Amino acid sequence: MLGLKAISVLLIVLLISGCARDKPASKSISNVSSLQISVASSSLTPNENRMVVTLWDGSERISDVKTVLIRAHDLEQEDSPIVWEGMAANYTDYAVPYWVVYPNFAHAGSWLFDIVVERNSGEIVNGTVAANVYAEASGVGVGMPAPPSESRTWDGNGDLSTITSDSSPNTAFYAQTIAKAVSSGRATIIAFTTPGFCTSRICTPVTDTIDALWETYQDKLNFVHIEVYEDFETLKPVSTMQEWGLTREPWVYLIDGDGIVAARYDGPLSVREITPIIQELLNGS
């Protein structure tokens, strides 16, 4: 364990921003195989700790996985001990399978993680990955009022492609502003994505998740899509991103009927992961 601090210096990298999450933010190749580990969440804090991990073999996603065990090393303690470990929940219904854990972070700083992957064949693959934990979360947090943004809408006139990069947009997502949706008394899903410019296979399917949720919940929830760019030449962020304190995408927010943030998701999001929270919200739990 004495060598972990030295090793971590080489491993610790900044979490990459925006839609470039198809390239691992930090990775290592194990001695057993060409396993590559990518942290696909960019807003880890001591209080907000949904850690999303994807697994790769070169450019190929790894999905034939039985279990993923993740152990967290506190690099600020002597000998960098393991201070947390847990089995990750898998979400293979997403276009790129991902795994989620909720580590306990005692403080902000750089953390090192051991990843132990048991593949369906029985092979055990080991790897390590480093990630930054920030003192404060970016963006509007859970429990806070949703900013009543006068986001862009479409009334059926003009070119919808000027306000969304989605090649096959659901027009219902542009029928009302965030301000109107969150003051309607009905729960709302808000997705901050850029389908046409997010080439990553990890973040682009978030829009597909929202499409699938709309098919199920269109009569019970409001749906708003925020294209993150004001225009597609300068790629200047829309003012709504600033109002919500966001500098990266994708983000998905679930707002309750009182206009309060009930949940939010940074990075990949599958239908199966968010559905229980939606049901709890609709059931008044």
Confidence band, pLDDT 50/70/90 cuts, at residue 96: very high
**Structural domain includes residue 28:** yes
pLDDT: which is higher, 142 or 284 = 142
Q: How many domains does the chain have?
A: 2
Same domain, residue pair 38 and 115: yes
Same domain, residue pair 164 and 82: no
Instruction: State pLDDT tens for residues 191-239.
Output: 999 999 986 778 889 999 999 999 999 999 999 999 999 999 999 999 9
Same domain, residue pair 120 and 167: no
Instruction: State pLDDT tens for residues 97-109.
Output: 999 999 999 999 9
Same domain, residue pair 185 and 231: yes
Average pLDDT of the chain is: 88
Same domain, residue pair 15 and 117: yes
Residues 6+ apart with CB under 8 A from 65: 55, 90, 97, 99, 117, 118, 119, 120
pLDDT: which is higher, 25 or 264 = 264
**Structural domain includes residue 141:** no
Residue 132 sits at φ, ψ, to 5 deg, of -90, 140
Same domain, residue pair 114 and 168: no
The reported pLDDT for the residue numbered 18 is 40
The reported pLDDT for the residue numbered 65 is 95
Instruction: State pLDDT tens for residues 36-80.
Output: 999 999 889 999 999 999 999 888 899 899 999 999 999 999 999
Confidence band, pLDDT 50/70/90 cuts, at residue 285: low
* SS3 letters across the chain: CCCHHHHHHHHCCCCCCCCCCCCCCCCCCCCCCCEEEEECCCCCCCCCCCEEEEEEECCEECCCEEEEEEEEEECCCCCCCEEEEEECEEECCCCCCEEEECCCCCCCEEEEEEEEEEECCCCEEEEEEEEEECCCCCCCCCCCECCCCCCCCCCCCCCHHHCCCCCCCCHHHHCCCHHHHHCCCCCEEEEEECCCCCCCCCCCHHHHHHHHHHHHHCCCCEEEEEECECCCCCCCECHHHHHCCCCCCCEEEEECCCCEEEEEEECCCCHHHHHHHHHHHHCCC
Same domain, residue pair 113 and 21: yes
Give the CATH number of the domain where residue 14 resides.
Answer: 2.60.40.1220
Same domain, residue pair 126 and 197: no
Res 13 pLDDT > 80 = no
Same domain, residue pair 77 and 121: yes
The reported pLDDT for the residue numbered 31 is 45
The reported pLDDT for the residue numbered 110 is 94
**Structural domain includes residue 140:** no
Host domain of residue 211: 160-282
Give the CATH number of the domain where residue 248 resides.
Answer: 3.40.30.10
Res 249 pLDDT > 70 = yes
The reported pLDDT for the residue numbered 42 is 86
pTM to 2 decimals?
Answer: 0.87
The reported pLDDT for the residue numbered 281 is 95
Res 270 pLDDT > 90 = yes
Q: Report d(CA 43, CA 23) in Å as an integer.
A: 17
Same domain, residue pair 13 and 98: yes
Same domain, residue pair 122 and 188: no
Instruction: State pLDDT tens for residues 143-178.
Output: 999 999 999 999 999 999 999 999 999 999 999 999
Mean local confidence (pLDDT), 1-19 = 38
